A and B are shown apart, each in its own frame.
Chain A
């Protein structure tokens, strides 16, 4: 490994990052998750922690751009340079830039997340069968509204599971229209447009107006790439037009004809011969997670390595089940030292060393069943000393206390149990959680972290999805508490307000948000945990809780550690 001259590094461990814009290739929640996992690669082996900011200046400012993108090092179109980043320091130092002339995926081809429909945001399943035909891209077949859709299982006729594919007719991203879809035709600069355009911009991004007249309303958004969008060429982002003619022949799928490099391309109008409009077809693409993990290595102070299997090796290489190479770990720990906390990743079952000294008795549960017993790991944190838990909630009749990737269980007059690894029982959850609750009827468990949420049914998980999916405002930073009300409603708390979610429709009830003090007089307005336990409402602030009866009277103020049966 190499570090930068003078061992440039951050002089603090709580590093902040901010995502300035998104690529049209991936759903924002997938980009968010890829970056979060890329940071976790480094926080798993160092004392570093990474907090996402949504405004202002963060240590690591992340952005996508093309060719000349605002610094002295232009990108070079498709392939070649994928991204770059600057070593730690002020201003542009520490920032990471990704070339948006690349096709960003998770390394194995199109990642098409669906919207609406009945598949709750699941990914498209290609190929899928519909009315006797096989489809390997989204289709508008079977619909009159021209909205591209896909099945999320291999056979739509059998399962009936479907969702809508990213398209400018469904939503836009960034811009100033809160995701509203395009309005076609729209007027811009006196011209009429019936599709997305790059006119008026010098960064090559496709955009549209979200009202009929941009000149008057100035409302716009960026167009997400459809799954059939071309990459590069002279029509970046435009969907392939099938069939199209080329050199007098008709093509109904991508072809490498006419090219000596064998790359697949298509025309974006019905006649290449007439219009010469074309682009490359979607390939496996580059894993945003892997490239980001590499670039964040630079942003933390690592230079390139000459170990071919190291993450910090300069060339891109797709790896399915990624783990850091010893060389990367030595390099980053040379700068920041090891992770003093407990090992974050549960030991792999095949390499279990059941030595008497092993602090953790790792017995990984068989993934197919939801084991009833989880193995406590070496207590590194005394829960009785914790002054602020990430989450407190009742699950299967026991209070669960979550903190930094661990949880403890406690119920009245029973011995406290734990700590347990969150990742062992609920894999894919981030370390930092904000709140959770159990659906009293379905027993599904909802977890919230930042602007995302996960729904677990046993160990099956749906998510992460954006909390906007539930009808919460896009400006909400996090959900801090949850109170189940009856069998199908749950109150979700954030700041000084709360909303009511209908669990059946998965949508917010009308007439919300409401102010906490209008309904729950006498409890702190800045409670960071709100939960229901044995019919009482608990509002926590640091080590204290306020308990309220169902008649909304505060009948007790106590210490959270009492609930943990601490001595």
Chain B
């Protein structure tokens, strides 16, 4: 058996490589779809912790609410979707 050819990975010009880290992807996603901002009692916008925001996202997407950036949550964030925010402020 010949040694498998090592595939050479290139960067293609114009490729929208979303070379964000999973953490950056999560922060961008939570912000874009309304999970980071909440209205507090007095109606003011407040920013919640990432863990709390993750729990809200996991609840909305019917995932286990771990509050952690686990693989099922990362996979869900990479799925094609509608651009309308999930949480309206």
Q: Answer whether A and B are interacting partners.
A: yes
Residues of B within 8 A of A83 (CB): 82-83
* Contact between A73 and B83, CB atoms less than 8 A apart: yes
**B50 → chain A, closest Cβ, in Å?**
20
**A275 → chain B, closest Cβ, in Å?**
10
* Contact between B8 and A233, CB atoms less than 8 A apart: no
Residues of A within 8 A of B49 (CB): none
Docked complex: B63-89 residues within 8 A CB-CB of A:
76, 79-84, 86, 88
Let me know if A365 is at the binding interface, CB within 8 A: no
**A429 → chain B, closest Cβ, in Å?**
30
* Contact between A294 and B82, CB atoms less than 8 A apart: yes
Quick one: which of B18, B81, B84 contacts A298, CB cutoff 8 A? B84
* Contact between B14 and A234, CB atoms less than 8 A apart: yes
Map CB proximity to B onto A386-413 as digits: 1 under 8 Å, 0 otherwise: 0000000000000000000000000000
* Contact between A5 and B62, CB atoms less than 8 A apart: no
The 13 listed contacts between A and B (C-beta, < 8 Å) are: A80-B81, A82-B80, A82-B83, A84-B84, A234-B15, A258-B9, A258-B10, A276-B12, A276-B13, A303-B88, A304-B60, A304-B82, A314-B61
User: What separation, in Å, do the CA atoms of A112 and B8 have in the docked complex?
Assistant: 34
Known: A233-B15, A247-B8, A258-B12. A316 touches B84 (CB 8 A): no
Counting chain A CB atoms within 10 Å of each CB, the highest count among B14, B62, B84 belongs to B84
**B86 → chain A, closest Cβ, in Å?**
5
Let me know if A257 is at the binding interface, CB within 8 A: yes
Task: For the complex of A and B, list the 8 residue pairs with the smallest distance between their C-beta atoms, beginning with the closest.
Answer: A234-B14, A84-B83, A77-B16, A81-B83, A316-B80, A258-B10, A260-B9, A306-B60
* Beta-carbon nearest neighbor of A303 in chain B: B88
Known: A233-B12, A258-B8, A276-B13. A84 touches B82 (CB 8 A): yes
* Contact between A278 and B12, CB atoms less than 8 A apart: yes
Counting chain A residues whose Cβ lies within 8 A of the other chain, the interface size class is 35 or more
* Contact between B84 and A233, CB atoms less than 8 A apart: no
**A299 → chain B, closest Cβ, in Å?**
10
Docked complex: A77-133 residues within 8 A CB-CB of B:
77-85, 99, 102
**A141 → chain B, closest Cβ, in Å?**
30
Let me know if B51 is at the binding interface, CB within 8 A: no
User: What separation, in Å, do the CA atoms of A99 and B13 have in the docked complex?
Assistant: 21
* Contact between B15 and A308, CB atoms less than 8 A apart: no
Let me know if A504 is at the binding interface, CB within 8 A: no
Residues of A within 8 A of B13 (CB): 234, 276, 278
* Contact between A82 and B7, CB atoms less than 8 A apart: no
Map CB proximity to B onto A222-236 as digits: 1 under 8 Å, 0 otherwise: 000000000011100
* Beta-carbon nearest neighbor of A234 in chain B: B14
Docked complex: B1-43 residues within 8 A CB-CB of A:
7-10, 12-16, 18, 33
Let me know if B59 is at the binding interface, CB within 8 A: yes
**B22 → chain A, closest Cβ, in Å?**
15
Quick one: which of B81, B84, B86, B88 contacts A85, CB cutoff 8 A? B84
Total A-B residue pairs with C-beta atoms closer than 8 Å?
Answer: 90
* Contact between B12 and A315, CB atoms less than 8 A apart: no
* Contact between A79 and B80, CB atoms less than 8 A apart: yes
Residues of B within 8 A of A4 (CB): 88
Docked complex: A161-207 residues within 8 A CB-CB of B:
none
Counting chain A CB atoms within 10 Å of each CB, the highest count among B18, B83, B86 belongs to B83
Quick one: which of A99, A247, A315 contacts B79, CB cutoff 8 A? A315
User: What separation, in Å, do the CA atoms of A306 and B13 have in the docked complex?
Assistant: 38
* Beta-carbon nearest neighbor of B9 in chain A: A260
* Contact between A303 and B84, CB atoms less than 8 A apart: yes
* Beta-carbon nearest neighbor of A309 in chain B: B62
Quick one: which of A85, A234, A306 contacts B59, CB cutoff 8 A? A306
* Contact between B7 and A258, CB atoms less than 8 A apart: yes
Task: A84-B82, A276-B13 given; name 8 further pairs at CB < 8 Å.
Answer: A82-B80, A83-B83, A84-B84, A233-B15, A247-B8, A278-B13, A306-B61, A316-B80
Counting chain B CB atoms within 10 Å of each CB, the highest count among A84, A258, A314 belongs to A314
* Beta-carbon nearest neighbor of A77 in chain B: B16
* Contact between B86 and A314, CB atoms less than 8 A apart: yes
Let me know if A149 is at the binding interface, CB within 8 A: no
* Contact between A316 and B79, CB atoms less than 8 A apart: yes
**B87 → chain A, closest Cβ, in Å?**
9
* Contact between B80 and A80, CB atoms less than 8 A apart: yes
User: What separation, in Å, do the CA atoms of A291 and B8 have in the docked complex?
Assistant: 36
* Contact between A257 and B7, CB atoms less than 8 A apart: yes
* Contact between A259 and B61, CB atoms less than 8 A apart: no
* Contact between A232 and B16, CB atoms less than 8 A apart: yes
* Beta-carbon nearest neighbor of B85 in chain A: A304
Known: A233-B12, A234-B14. A315 touches B81 (CB 8 A): yes
**A296 → chain B, closest Cβ, in Å?**
12
Residues of B within 8 A of A84 (CB): 82-84
Residues of B within 8 A of A307 (CB): 62
Let me know if A295 is at the binding interface, CB within 8 A: yes
Counting chain B CB atoms within 10 Å of each CB, the highest count among A73, A80, A233, A286 belongs to A80
Let me know if A265 is at the binding interface, CB within 8 A: yes
Residues of B within 8 A of A78 (CB): 16
Let me know if A35 is at the binding interface, CB within 8 A: no
Residues of A within 8 A of B18 (CB): 80
User: What separation, in Å, do the CA atoms of A84 and B86 have in the docked complex?
Assistant: 12
